[in-house]
Chain A
């Protein structure tokens, strides 16, 4: 079923706390869960919900994201009618705001036949059914709906995110910034539903007021004197905003129940097709509580870790509590603990690398680690 909603993906996201993982790529194209990229979740959620006209606004120096998105084929978005449209902008020093970005690309909105928008980013990892949200939004009769989740660890997670104070009718009374001062909070998932007309009005307002920040501010301000509806989401949620939360999102997936929720129920998560043979386990392999992708060759020990495609773990090597991206080679008797290895890292024989549980050690793409 195709809906009367188009998707607007603002992929110029805050990356500063992800450091070396975003040195060569946008947040949206960070590999996640041993097989996917961050953006696969929001794209798949939209497509599974019948939102098949999607505009993605990305930085022009994000080769990895542009290549991953391609023409949208993995998500069924390579179409003659609707489909995936990519708009690039060049970052000129300062982080360019959403508002200017959208205003430079109004053509997308003009030629789209849908009358409503779902605006969001990619950093909220969840499995959401937008059809439900659309039903909730339209039943409310309000102009705008924000999706939120009630969390109980706001003192540690989603810091600096927007908190919503909601009345008994589900309307936003007030918004605030999560400073970590309480455990329970209704956190905005930064997913907004409204008519296309209203959305463009906000963009125009933002331009006129000279706002160079996130356009979501304009919307949160609007909530002060207008009724904005909310819809609650109760499933898994992780905001990717730091090395910590990135690491934790990967570790969360070491759970068949969560794997079922995220990757099988209510539609799949789609990503670019790859051709790797199945994983091979040798006589010496000792693997527990881990995710192992296709193409891996395991001769050593792997515990509580996420291994992406084509990772080689040689005999005597030990990988614990780590996230290993595509193509890494862990040679004989090397030991890794609490580590994130970006793609194509080689860890030479007998090397020893260890981070702490709270601050995993991140190794940049292509590095060679020696003892």
Chain B
């Protein structure tokens, strides 16, 4: 009797990165755990995509300061991943009799978890990053991969010409097959950037990972080693075209912009689409209370808050208090932060659990003013 379970596709989410350019925001948490859009964490988008795509087995590879991510994901209930058969697995680096190592590259991270993948015995493996914000149905990408009998399919998005030097750029034939791949080219005819979302036929990838692990000169990275080798070997590599909202919030500036963009009517990331809800671990709070003298315009505000002052063009996370006569403009205020009376906040990102004492000004004049988590501010901060 064959009791070994088989899944068609298992997802592996790479969530080990720090995101150093996000400074204080990633002082205590890894990048995928950063709060976003008024109540989510960045990894909620990748996880919710898996839910909507019908993927019921997900490995989340963590490394840098993973505690808040582990706490947030738990057993995966919000994403329908608390299951008898399948589920979400938090995969950290581990020790064996032969010793152990930290993950040393994206391909190495997958290689170290071959046992987990083999246990689920999938035909296909989906690899994605936990730091990107976008909505995608991975089953469409799998159909594309199967139709092309591909060894690897890479999701690509068209980027503006001035941005090609920031991405890995694919050049494709009319049938979508990839014939060239250049990391961060100065100039390129093709503008198709790799999104870091891959589907591999597992048997093929498994062999490549084992071979790559023995190559001491390799960086054990998909973009630098695995994909170029597959191209060299003339394996069947295809580019799956994606269009729509896709963001990697790498800096404070881009983080602030991405949050505030959601307020605009033309925002292409629709959080209010009932057909593609973003699931997250929620706290239960009463609805926000908007006071008699409050004025809220063009903002996104989460529950549990008490707003007694003015809020313009801002994103407020749960349980934020805005005191009387205070003005919050063009800012992102994270959960449980209290802004006392007569305070001005402008062009700022204020993290969780802060207190901005009365009569203070926090204003980003040149750069976005950033206040890290748990701080108490009683003197003016001008960015």
Chain A positions within 8 Å of B, measured between CB atoms, are: 33-36, 74, 253-254, 256, 259, 262-263, 268-271, 273-275, 277-283, 285, 287-295, 297, 306-308
For B6, what are the chain A residues with a Cβ–Cβ distance below 8 Å? none
By beta carbon, the residue of chain B nearest A296 is B287
Closest to B306 in A: A256
User: When the two chains form the complex, which single residue of B284, B292, B311 contacts A268, counting CB atoms closer than 8 Å?
Assistant: B284
Any chain A CB within 8 A of the CB of B121? no
Q: List 7 interface pairs A-B (beta carbons < 8 Å), by A numbering.
A: A279-B301, A281-B299, A288-B291, A290-B289, A290-B290, A292-B290, A294-B302
Alpha-carbon distance A285/B299, docked complex (angstroms): 10
Contact A293 B298 (CB under 8 A): no
- Interface residues in B26-84 by Cβ distance below 8 A to A read 37-39, 78
- Asked whether A291 and B288 contact (CB < 8 A) given A35-B303, A279-B301, A285-B297, the answer is yes
Excluding A278-B37, A306-B287, 17 further A-B contacts by CB distance (< 8 Å) are A35-B286, A35-B303, A254-B289, A263-B285, A271-B284, A277-B271, A277-B278, A278-B300, A278-B315, A278-B317, A281-B297, A283-B297, A288-B292, A289-B291, A291-B286, A293-B303, A294-B302
**Binary contact readout B263-280 vs A (1 if CB under 8 angstroms, 0 otherwise):** 101000001100001111
B residues lining the A interface (CB < 8 Å): 37-39, 78, 263, 265, 271-272, 277-280, 282, 284-294, 296-303, 306, 308, 311, 315-317
Which residues does chain B contribute within 8 Å of A294, judged by CB atoms? 39, 287, 302-303
Interchain CB contact under 8 A, B298 and A282? yes
Complex Cα distance, B292 from A193, in Å, reads 42
Contact between chains at B38 and A289 (CB < 8 Å): no
B286, A33: Cβ atoms under 8 Å?
yes
- Bound-complex Cα distance A291 to B290 (A): 6
Residue of B nearest to A302 (CB): B290
B285, B290, B301: most-surrounded residue (chain A CB, <10 A): B290
B37 and A291 contact, CB distance less than 8 A: no
Contact of B287 among A273, A291, A297 (CB under 8 A): A291
The answer on a CB contact under 8 Å between A35 and B306 is: no
> A275's contact among B277, B287, B302, B315, by CB below 8 Å, is which?
B277
CB distance from A340 to the nearest CB of B (A): 16
Interchain Cβ contacts within 8 Å, total number: 113
Distance between A355 CB and nearest chain B CB, rounded to angstroms? 22
Residues of B within 8 A of A306 (CB): 287
Q: Is B289 a contact of A291 with CB atoms below 8 Å?
A: yes
Q: Are A269 and B284 in contact (CB under 8 A)?
A: yes
Q: Are A256 and B289 in contact (CB-based, < 8 A)?
A: yes
Are B39 and A279 in contact, with the CB atoms below 8 A? no
Which of these, B282, B289, B292, B293, contacts A274 with CB under 8 Å?
B282
Chain A proximity of B78: nearest CB distance (Å): 7
Closest to A279 in B: B301
- Compute how far the CA of A129 lies from the CA of B129 in the bound complex, rounded to whole angstroms: 46
Nearest CB of A to B79, in Å: 10
Is A277 a contact of B37 with CB atoms below 8 Å?
A: yes
Contacts of B297 in A (CB 8 A): 281-283, 285
A residues less than 8 Å from B289 (CB atoms): 254, 256, 259, 290-291
CB contacts (< 8 Å) of B316 on chain A: these are 278
Which residue of A281, A283, A295 is within 8 Å of B272 (Cβ)? A295
Task: Provide the bound-state CA to CA distance between A292 and B299, in Å.
Answer: 13
Residues of B within 8 A of A291 (CB): 286-290
- Closest Cβ of chain B to A254, distance in Å, is 7
Contacts of B306 in A (CB 8 A): 256, 259
Contacts of A287 in B (CB 8 A): 290, 294, 296
B residues less than 8 Å from A74 (CB atoms)? 284
Structural contact, A281 and B298, CB atoms closer than 8 A: yes
Q: Which residues on the A side are within 8 Å of B38 (C-beta)? A: 277-278
Q: Which residues of B contact A268 (CB under 8 A)?
A: 284
Q: Contacts of A278 on B, CB cut-off 8 Å?
A: 37-39, 271, 300-303, 315-317
A33 to B265, CA, bound (A): 29
Instruction: Please give, as numbers and ranges, the residues of chain A lying within 8 Å of B280 by CB-CB distance.
Output: 275
B287 touching A292 by the CB < 8 A rule? yes
For the complex, give the distance between the alpha carbons of A344 and B226 in Å: 53
Instruction: Please list the 6 inter-chain residue pairs (A to B) with the smallest Cβ-Cβ separation, ordered nearest first.
Output: A278-B38, A277-B271, A293-B287, A278-B302, A34-B287, A291-B287
Partner pick for B300 among A33, A281, A289, A308, CB 8 A cutoff: A281
